[in-house]
Chains A and B, each alone.
Chain A
């Protein structure tokens, strides 16, 4: 057992519970209280500090609310391991050493010809154009911007209607709008059993409960979905049927039809994240199958540039008002400048060229995936820009990610995509199209192959 931790609260002013809480936060931040560390019982700490048990309980509740500790009935209170939770992992830090090849988040810095074109269009907005952009900004976005968005997503949604399109500040913001419009605090949102970590942040932010639906290599299982709908009474499901995040699974048409049918039967709305839809021209989006049930969202982040911070939603008429109210309540309106630059990119054909460039990049780098030992790249859906790399038995995702990091390679451990308390598979997600430099990615894959071949080099997970 580690030495006793007793917060020093004498010097702190204000309510005692806050003083304890802040000491604890500071100790966690400074590493004096490490992940996994068990904290004193409420009674014990109350005795040591000479405060009431209620005060300590309130202090622990405060720190738990901030996501730093978690209590389990009968087991005590522990400092949480935030390296693998949605909020902790979702940091976007300044790039580390330039040699670092970051394939953890799929936030492409390899955007080929797009950036120069964005700069060109941004600089070409005249004072008169700008005055028009400023003149009025409807909540959903300016009409020409929504029309450009409709053109952009038309091939994916079948029927694009500018009247139902809403501009958002990127996909993460689009997810927030859709989720908050459809799911209330305390309600349940279904997700795939491995899901985009961004939706975990959103749920955390909104006080929404997540429940996982079991998947196989084609995506979620209709029977499991049916059971989850019956047991959990969810308001909506968030899913990525096309190049599933993180597994890259491509859901076949009959499975999509079954999913849609199940959701219809239970009156469960669908939030379809189609961020990777542009990588694929043949799959049928859920929005095409069930336009009345499905909030469709995508962004310019992968296809054009993440720095633009622009996303599009297409919303069923019956849900439109709620999505707009959510937008009013969050960012109030989406910056018209981003909508304008994106519209110019779309009209000039620059957006399509950028997307094609990225598609080619994904195909080119797939050769690196194919060359991985033991056919570990076998399950990746062709055309994907992310690899779900299954690790040798007994290798922990966190330890492997740490070992990779020590060699200058960023990959995302499976825990980032798992719900709290769920079993974490031995795998990492490799966003191999994120870095700019082909040679650096090739080098990184050689290193990863080396780590896979010699699991002994991967230190066991620290507990």
Chain B
């Protein structure tokens, strides 16, 4: 029995029994009560707290119901073992201590310019201006913020009209708001068979039916797309023409025109993810080819930094209001304070400077990867943020990943990007921007190469 534990209930409002339960929970959480500790008897605690025995009995019963304590007749009431923590989503999995090099997700470059730029722009906004901004702004975003977004898009080759822009909390939010506008539960949405868009999570959420379409090194396959449109009568086609995540494919001009043509003649709206467009400025975005049939979704996450969550959608006029309504329904609006900082970052040229810095860094890193990893053919276009490592035939993703993790390197297996019943692609995504330094990346990739050749030999023999 612990030294005279008495719950602190004085400060807790509401029914006394509840105050006791919460005091037990708080003391367990703080370690003042340990598993196995025996609590006072009902009678004893009632006396100490000046309450009826019935109140304490109710408190202990409730605490037992919540799994905090266990009562055994004749033996008293004990504190139980703490319940296990809930499972975390994949992205939140703690990095195992054996992992020296984490190539799973993009992280902010520690030596990048973005953080200091954003801090400076925020500091620049005076209190009066901040106060004005913090009042609710018009839904689609203040005209000034939309104009800045339009300027960003114009630099990417889209003749953007501020009146057609809706601000979002990042590109993901823009894609969701657009898709729920275009499609209702059970409607089909076509996308690349291997894609970053958590199609499963998104369809759980929205009830949309994602259908994967075959893609090659030039992106989504036109014939497969046309066939899928005939078969599934989709409401939208979601594609990433430049540096598709995770395969790194960049659609050549001819393919872009073809995809636009197919969707146009079928009357299906295109939704284009342009977050990596800044890495490839010589090709037209689909939105430039089909301004009235393509929703262009992007954000500053890749060109600048993910932190601000400043995204925007450029949509055909007929869809603008509905997309804005979906943004309202999902988050009311983007914080105008953030939008103001984002606008200043664009207007001042900070974003362009940061984008150039990122592009240069990725080109360098892609070259490092090309010098270390074999078979650059499967790697994705040069200068891209990911290396799509195709495994030799017969080497399954899980087995390779186990060996890679044993070598201290983590990455994401291609199967995690498969849409619906598509088979695992036999590949692994390596995020080249993830390691803090170029040297870290080089070492990580040497281990990838060594694992690959060792596994290749082992599997070849087996």
Contact = CB atoms under 8 A, between A and B. Distances in A.
Interface of A: 14-15, 18, 22, 25, 65-66, 87, 90-94, 107, 109, 111, 115-116, 118-120, 122-131, 133-140, 155, 158-159, 161, 163-164, 168-170, 172-173, 176, 180, 184-186, 198, 201-202, 204-207, 253, 281-282, 284, 288-289, 291-292, 305-309, 317-318, 320-321, 324-326, 328-338
B92 interface: yes
B108 A135 contact: yes
A92 B267 contact: no
A205 B180 contact: yes
Contact of B308 (A90, A331, A335): A335
Interface of B: 12-15, 18, 21-22, 25-26, 29, 66, 83, 85-89, 91-92, 107-108, 110, 114-116, 118-120, 122-123, 125-127, 129-131, 133-139, 169-173, 176, 180, 184-186, 198, 201-202, 204-207, 264, 266-267, 305-309, 318, 322, 325-326, 328-338
Contact of A92 (B15, B122, B186, B332): B332
A434 to B, nearest CB: 10
B138 A93 contact: yes
Nearest to B207: A185
B134 A176 contact: no
A282 B249 CA distance: 59
Contacts of A334: 169, 309
Nearest to B266: A15
A292 B21 CA distance: 13
A193 to B, nearest CB: 21
Given A134-B114, A338-B338, A331 B172 contact: yes
A262 B389 CA distance: 54
20 contacts: A65-B184, A92-B333, A120-B127, A130-B115, A131-B115, A155-B13, A158-B12, A173-B332, A185-B186, A207-B206, A308-B337, A309-B333, A325-B204, A326-B205, A330-B330, A331-B170, A331-B309, A335-B307, A337-B307, A337-B338
Contact of B66 (A164, A284, A291): A291
B134 A329 contact: no
A186 B207 contact: yes
Nearest to A186: B185
Given A15-B267, A90-B328, A127 B116 contact: yes
Nearest to A140: B92
Contact of A331 (B26, B119, B331): B331
A158 B133 CA distance: 34
Contacts of B184: 65, 207
B330 A173 contact: yes
Contacts of A66: 322
A349 to B, nearest CB: 18
A129 B107 CA distance: 16
Contacts of B331: 168-170, 172-173, 176, 309, 330-331
A135 B107 contact: yes
A111 B134 contact: yes
Given A14-B267, A330-B176, 20 more contacts: A14-B264, A15-B266, A116-B131, A122-B123, A124-B123, A134-B307, A135-B108, A158-B12, A172-B332, A288-B14, A307-B135, A308-B134, A318-B86, A321-B87, A325-B201, A326-B201, A330-B172, A333-B170, A335-B309, A336-B307
Nearest to B84: A317
A306 B337 CA distance: 11
Nearest to A154: B26
B110 A131 contact: yes
Given A90-B329, A111-B134, A331-B170, A126 B119 contact: yes
Given A119-B127, A135-B110, A289 B202 contact: no
The 3 closest A-B pairs by CB, nearest first: A185-B207, A307-B134, A119-B130
Contact of A109 (B92, B136, B138, B322): B136
A207 B267 contact: no
Contacts of B330: 172-173, 176, 202, 205, 330-331
Given A186-B207, A206-B206, A130 B307 contact: yes
A414 B18 CA distance: 37
Contacts of B173: 330-332
A282 B91 contact: no
B341 to A, nearest CB: 8
B389 to A, nearest CB: 24
Nearest to B87: A321
A330 B205 contact: yes
Contact of B329 (A172, A308, A320, A326): A172
A120 B15 CA distance: 40
B195 to A, nearest CB: 13
A337 B108 contact: no
A329 B14 contact: no
B449 to A, nearest CB: 27
Nearest to A93: B138
